Amino acid sequence: MKQLKLLCVLTMLVLIGACSTTENRTMADSIGYVTDTGGHIWKSGFGDCWKHSGWTEASSHPDCGGSAPSPAPEPREETGKFWSDDQDRDGVLDASDRCPFTPEGIEVDSNGCALDADGDGVPDYLDKCPGTPAGTVVDTNGCGLALVKLSGIHFKFDSASLTADAKGILDRAISSIKANESQNLVVEGHTDSTGPDTYNLGLSQRRAKSVVNYLVSKGINGSRLNAKGLGENSPAASNATREGRAANRRVEIYAR
């Protein structure tokens, strides 16, 4: 009789356990484990977590040998001038930005374009010759583009007289100068550093004037030409060598 009662008790425990297991299996949540009504993961007598068919390696729980989930990254605070519709971050919205791909950090105007203080078409951050006089034709570096250069042997030491070579260079340039009658020209004279500054300034002016006079003699309207002596103030090379001094004795013609 006692054995029958014991058997009945064991049977009831098995049935209760089976029902509990069935109930809790239906509560398996998204982490891939069987949990009880309190959300705790069921473990076997050996400490193993009970998994269900939805378990994956990625869903492993730290209590069951998995790694703890990485903390969510903190939101990054944007600093400076930035809007979601300002792709180059210059502070000018794309809808109004005439230069939408300005490099980041470059100061821009109200149109979103890099500043160009001397108005030569080359932005300040690329301009190697800032302060170029208005109207000067420049190269990609923002420096005046010389139409004609007379240097070295074209002016002998302490002389403003044009050599045959210098006249030949001017003769080849005359047709181009005549074809662009709307352009005014600045003829800049230069010297090396030999001699007093005041003397060199006068010599450079005489060299520039010598070129102007030759061009006028070839039919160029003198009103288009402006002779300007710069002395030794704008060397093209080092005055420490003979070759450098020769390069600095020159005249350059620029379109303005």
pLDDT tens across 105-156, in order? Answer: 888 998 889 899 988 889 999 988 888 877 777 888 888 776 676 655 577 7
Q: What is the pLDDT of residue 215?
A: 93
Domain boundaries, the chain: 83-115, 146-255
Query: Is pLDDT of 69 > 60?
Result: no
Q: What is the pLDDT of residue 123?
A: 92
**Phi/psi at 203 (5° precision):** -65, -40
- Grouping H, G, I as helix, E, B as strand and the rest as coil, residue 47 is coil
The residue-averaged pLDDT of 218-247 equals: 92
Instruction: Label residue 163 exposed, middle or buried (CB < 10 Å: 0-12, 13-18, 19+).
Output: middle
The 10s digit of each residue's pLDDT in 183-220 is 888 999 999 999 999 999 999 999 999 999 999 999 99
Strand partners, 189: 229, 251
- Using CA atoms in the order 191, 193, 198, 199, what is the torsion angle rounded to 10 degrees? -60
Q: From edge to edge, which strands make up the β-sheet containing 225-229?
A: 146-150, 251-255, 185-189, 225-229
Instruction: Give the span between the Cα atoms of 166 and 247, in whole angstroms.
Output: 14
Q: What is the pLDDT of residue 3?
A: 55
Instruction: Give the span between the Cα atoms of 162 and 236, in whole angstroms.
Output: 20
Question: Looking at domain 146-255, which CATH architecture does it have?
Answer: 2-Layer Sandwich (3.30)
Express as a percent the part of the chain with pLDDT over 70: 77
pLDDT, the chain, mean: 78
Query: Is pLDDT of 22 > 50?
Result: no
Residue 173 neighbours by CB under 8 Å, 6+ apart: 147, 148, 253
Query: Is pLDDT of 29 > 50?
Result: no
Q: What is the pLDDT of residue 227?
A: 95
The residue-averaged pLDDT of 73-85 equals: 59
Query: Strands 225-229, 185-189: parallel, antiparallel or unpaired by DSSP?
Result: parallel
End-to-end CA distance of the chain: 124
